């Protein structure tokens, strides 16, 4: 048979090694998204959360800014403290009414004008302080800021609206909100003190007003996530529905107020007053971190969380007896970490007990009870410090935590019946 040249060439060529057959690649296994990533993948959540965080920072700024501004210009801490105290009292009266209007007419419709009134009150306070106006004008101006909407409550209401029927995701959202609260009250005073001392005395109040208005406008502009207004309904009021739970929040406020005042006084008595801010910030940081972590875990019962808090609140009392900074700072860090699970669980209880259509009002009542408790705890700690020194008053937050445990256990037992 004749063989063509082409065939000869092909035959002479070395055989190419055959590549092994390709095997199908196994599909990549993607890690399931974490609870917070899933939370903020929902449409609109990042937008309203951005506004929420901007508007929440001034909550930790206004009190400190007002005290530093008034005391710096008028030379009287007594006057400054009285103005702030009067503002808190006005807030206790006005805030639940504002929250009721928010529930009935919608967040954007009520929160924006209420915020404008509060901002005008802050600007009036600055003008009266700068213009050496009579003292009563300071009280009137700061009282106008009581219309400030409860941005934390409105944000929690949005999560509740978006996450109906998803208890695990709702728990994560409430944990995030608690961490945001702690972050605001940790950074707010630091930012306010910096602005009032480095820039000019009125800078803290002015910056807080700008942040509040900006954040509220961003928050309310995201209408798709806003809960629908609830019509006026007759039935049990939130105050009556939460009657057994509000004393718990009062006791927690007493714990917060007495612990803060006692820590400031104790550090000052040992020549460490300059470290009061960082040490208290460490406590808030512990609560912030614990809140975020708690959001990834299975929620515990309220009595369990309160029992852990009661044990943790005994640590600063024991550490203060050593007279050393490091044990006290560590004890305050652990005490702060025990706070977040309690607040998250208690706020979730508020959600379940508040009558339909009154959620903002119910949460605002809880916050008002905390503020009232802080006032009582601060006053009690101050009187005890003057009489017994700065170590024994650490028994007050421990006792308040124990009282909260008893109240929480009683409320849980009543609910179980």
* pTM, full prediction: 0.76
* Mean pLDDT for the chain overall: 83
pLDDT of 21: 52
pLDDT of 372: 84
Higher pLDDT, 14 or 359: 359
Ranking 49-58, 144-153, 186-195, 329-338 by mean pLDDT, the lowest is 186-195
87: confidence class by pLDDT, cuts 50, 70, 90: confident
pLDDT of 123: 94
* pLDDT tens sequence across 357-408: 777 888 888 888 888 888 788 878 888 888 888 889 899 999 999 999 999 8
Highest mean pLDDT among 12-26, 136-150, 277-291: 136-150
pLDDT of 28: 52
pLDDT of 417: 55
Percent above pLDDT 90 for the chain: 26
pLDDT of 215: 94
Q: What is the mean predicted confidence (pLDDT) over 233-250?
A: 76
Residues 6+ apart with CB under 8 A from 312: 334, 335, 337, 338, 401
pLDDT of 12: 38
5: confidence class by pLDDT, cuts 50, 70, 90: very low
* pLDDT tens sequence across 161-218: 888 888 888 888 888 888 888 788 777 877 887 888 888 888 889 999 999 999 999 9
Domains along the chain with CATH numbers? 44-231 (1.20.1250.20), 240-417 (1.20.1250.20)
Q: In whole angstroms, give the CA distance from residue 209 to residue 119.
A: 5
Give CA separation, 108 vs 113, 217, 224, 300, 410, in Å.
Answer: 9, 8, 11, 34, 38
Ranking 46-60, 71-85, 102-116 by mean pLDDT, the lowest is 71-85
- Do 158 and 227 form a contact (C-beta atoms < 8 A)? yes
pLDDT of 258: 87
> Is the pLDDT at 15 greater than 60, yes or no?
no
Residues 6+ apart with CB under 8 A from 99: 149, 150, 153, 360, 361, 363, 364, 365
> Is the pLDDT at 31 greater than 60, yes or no?
no
Residues 6+ apart with CB under 8 A from 165: none
> 3-state secondary structure string, the chain?
CCCCHHHHHHHHCCCCCCCCCCCCCCCCCCCCCCHHHHHCCCCCHHHHHHHHHHHHHHHHCHHHHHHHHHHHHHCCHHHHHHHHHHHHHHHHHHHHHHHHHHHHHCHHHHHHHHHHHHHHHHHHHHHHHHCCCCHHHHHHHHHHHHHCCCHHHHHHHHHHHHCCCCHHHHHHHHHHHHHHHHHHHHHHHHHHHHHHHHHCCCHHHHHHHHHHHHHHHHHHHCHHHCCCCCCCCCCCCHHHHCCCCHHHHHHHHHHHHHHHHHHHHHHHHCCCHHHHHHHHHHHHHHHHHHHHHHCCCCCCCHHHHHHHHHHHHHHHHHHHCCCCHHHHHHHHHHHHHHHHHHHHHHHHHHHHHCCCCCHHHHHHHHHHHHHHHHHHHHHHHHHHHHHHCCCHHHHHHHHHHHHHHHHHHHHHHHHHC
Q: In whole angstroms, give the CA distance from residue 241 to residue 67.
A: 36
- Do 391 and 321 form a contact (C-beta atoms < 8 A)? yes
pLDDT of 295: 83
pLDDT of 330: 93
pLDDT of 32: 55
């Amino acid at each position: 048979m004749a063989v063509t040249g082409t065939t000869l060439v092909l035959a002479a060529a070395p055989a190419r090694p055959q590549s092994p057959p390709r095997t199908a690649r196994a599909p990549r296994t993607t890690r399931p998204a974490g609870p917070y990533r899933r939370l903020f993948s929902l449409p609109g959540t990042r937008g309203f959360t951005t506004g929420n965080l901007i508007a929440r920072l001034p909550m930790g700024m206004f009190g400190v800014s007002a005290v530093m501004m008034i005391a710096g210009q008028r030379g009287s801490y007594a006057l400054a403290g009285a103005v702030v105290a009067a503002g808190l009292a006005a807030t206790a009266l006005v805030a639940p009414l504002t929250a009721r209007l928010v529930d009935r007419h919608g967040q954007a419709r009520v929160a924006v004008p209420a915020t404008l009134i509060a901002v005008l009150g802050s600007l009036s306070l600055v003008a009266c302080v700068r213009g050496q106006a009579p003292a009563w004008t300071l009280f009137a101006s700061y009282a106008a800021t009581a219309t400030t909407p409860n941005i934390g409550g409105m944000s929690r209401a949005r999560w509740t609206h978006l996450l109906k029927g998803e208890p695990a995701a709702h728990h994560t959202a409430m944990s995030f909100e608690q961490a945001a609260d702690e972050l605001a009250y940790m950074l707010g005073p630091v930012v306010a003190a910096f602005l009032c001392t480095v820039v000019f005395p009125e800078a803290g109040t002015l910056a807080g007003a700008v942040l509040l208005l900006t954040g509220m406008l961003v928050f309310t502009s995201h209408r798709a996530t806003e809960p629908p207004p609830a019509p006026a309904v007759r039935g049990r009021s939130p105050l009556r529905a939460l009657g057994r739970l509000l004393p718990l929040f009062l006791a927690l406020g007493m714990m917060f107020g007495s612990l803060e005042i006692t820590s400031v006084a104790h550090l000052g008595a040992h020549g460490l007053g300059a470290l009061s801010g960082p040490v208290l910030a460490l406590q808030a940081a512990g609560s912030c971190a614990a809140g975020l972590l708690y959001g990834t875990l299975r929620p515990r019962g309220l009595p369990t969380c309160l029992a852990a808090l009661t044990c943790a609140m005994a640590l600063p009392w024991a550490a203060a007896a050593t007279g050393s900074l490091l044990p006290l700072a560590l004890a305050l860090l652990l005490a702060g970490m025990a706070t977040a699970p309690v607040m998250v669980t208690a706020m979730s209880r508020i959600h379940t007990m508040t009558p339909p259509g009154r959620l903002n009002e119910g949460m605002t009542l809880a916050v008002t009870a905390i503020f009232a408790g802080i006032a009582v705890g601060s006053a009690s700690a101050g009187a005890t410090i003057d009489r017994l020194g700065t170590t024994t008053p650490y028994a007050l937050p421990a006792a308040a935590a124990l009282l909260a445990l008893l109240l929480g256990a009683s409320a849980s037992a009543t609910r179980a019946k």
